[in-house]
Amino acid sequence: MDSKKTQGLLSKPAAKPINSPLESLYGIGPLRLRDSSLKTVQAYINRVNLKHNVEILKKKCAAGVKFCAVVKADAYGHNARLLVPVLAGGYADYFAVSNIEEAERIYPFAKGKPILVFAPLYEGIAPDLLQLAQARGFHCTICSPAGLRYVNDYMETTSRSLPVQMKVDTGMGRVGCLAEEFEDLYHAIREKKWFQITGVYSHFANADDQDLSKARQQAAVFSELVTRLGLSQFPILKHISSTAATMQLPEAHYDMIRCGIGMYGYTTGAYGQSCGLKPVMKVEAPLIQIKKLAAGQSCGYGGTYIAPNDMLIGLIPFGYADGLFRSLSNRISLKIGSYEAPVVGRISMDLTMIDLSNVPHPAEGMMVTVIDDQPGSCCDIYHMAEQIGTIPYEILISIGSRVKRVIVN
């Protein structure tokens, strides 16, 4: 990112109302209410369910514990520009994203709430990104002496401060300084006049397990560091809990919880699917063609499906480029109303074929549920993830940009 681009980012005005019908159709304007007359591929974002999920998570905590809404990866595929303004209106105290570029994208919609950047500052990071972080006041993560030295040298040339949060690796073996390095790094940062430490945090590796012994070991390491350095005496946020830890480890809530997957209505691990969370997204696509398939005829690439009898199949303009994994070919069913329609043949980049045998009076323009928001459905995300050996996260963030996100309530 060069300086001209950075200046452009810094001078970019707040989002203005958009009047173009195309922009409304494609879900990029500020007003994106569901229009049932639009027979196109759409992801319906349920604002009521989003608020409900935040309240469920907050009720797990003591009064005064802050709520950090994790909206990285475009709000887990839901469209951060739609969700952040809702969350900033009294539901989230903080936001968290992966990198400075993501922070900039949500900045106009965050209503002044602090934005934590998970990716650590490092030796060699582009000065333009540091300039942007300074100008916006993003809370950047720092966890290495090399990164500290490099960023401090840059700060000396600008004479501008930067809020930072320290991340410590308490046992996950991923991002963060080692516990034995934490104290030296903490004092080194405090000695630099251009840094304001606003938080200290870590991340659990096994908080969604039934056996929480590893998670409790990590919490003990974190607590020992907080106590040894007397961090409770300072206005420094201490936080370590994700959705799973929010649900299962009340002793680890500290000053703030950071929730991602649970906010969107999903869980992983031992605490299950019965905690009251509601999926926020439902995806539909129209039937764009209905055709006969004769007995013995194949359909799709490779001819992997052979019609057992004369049948009707339908095509929807939704394929693996849109988030329906090719590995789900011939393995799941979609829905038309309450009727299941099995996927037949290989899922293509742009198209999927479904068996209409169970659907009474099928017609072009009927809407097909590709991803359902009803747990237990044949095409809910849990079922899809189980079929291909993955987790709900991966399904959600794979929903492509061609799928128009719209608010339904």
Taking residues 127-138, report their average pLDDT. Answer: 96
pLDDT above 80 (res 23): no
**Token digits of residue 360:** 């009474």
Tracing tokens 């459905």 back to the chain, one arrives at 377
Q: For 281-372+374-407, give the CATH class.
A: mainly beta
pLDDT above 60 (res 26): no
Q: Where in the chain is CATH 2.40.37.10? A: 281-372+374-407
Q: pLDDT tens-digit profile of 2-14?
A: 545 445 445 444 4
Residues 6+ apart with CB under 8 A from 6: 128, 131, 132
**Which architecture, in CATH terms, is 62-264?**
Alpha-Beta Barrel (3.20)
Of residues 135, 86, 140, 75, the one with CA closest to residue 110 = 86
Q: Which of 60, 72, 167, 404 is catalytic?
A: 72
| Active-site residue, 301 included | yes
CA–CA distance, 9 with 278 (Å, rounded to integer): 36
CA–CA distance, 331 with 346 (Å, rounded to integer): 10
Q: Where in the chain is CATH 3.20.20.10? A: 62-264
Cβ pair 139, 116 in contact under 8 A: yes
pLDDT for res 34: 55
Q: pLDDT tens-digit profile of 268-301?
A: 876 666 689 999 999 999 999 999 999 999 999 9
User: Residue 360 burial by CB count (10 A; 0-12/13-18/19+): exposed, middle or buried?
Assistant: exposed
pLDDT above 60 (res 43): yes
Dihedral, 151, 153, 155, 161 alpha carbons, nearest 10: 70
Q: Which of 5, 12, 111, 301 is catalytic?
A: 301
Q: Mind giving me the DSSP string for 110-132? A: STT--EEEEEEP-TT--HHHHHH
Cβ pair 287, 318 in contact under 8 A: no
User: Residue 21 burial by CB count (10 A; 0-12/13-18/19+): exposed, middle or buried?
Assistant: exposed
The separation between the first and the last C-alpha atoms of the chain, rounded to the nearest angstrom, is: 38
pLDDT above 80 (res 78): yes
Q: Taking the complete model, does pTM exceed 0.85, yes or no? A: yes
CA–CA distance, 41 with 200 (Å, rounded to integer): 42
| Active-site residue, 12 included | no
pLDDT for res 24: 42
Helix axes 127-136, 145-158, angle to 10 degrees: 70
Q: Establish how many alpha carbons lie within 13 A of residue 148's alpha carbon, considering only the half-sphere containing its beta carbon.
A: 24
The runs of H, that is alpha helices, within 159-260 are 179-190, 213-228, 243-248
Cβ pair 207, 242 in contact under 8 A: yes
- Min mean pLDDT across 6-20, 171-185, 332-346, 366-380 is at 6-20
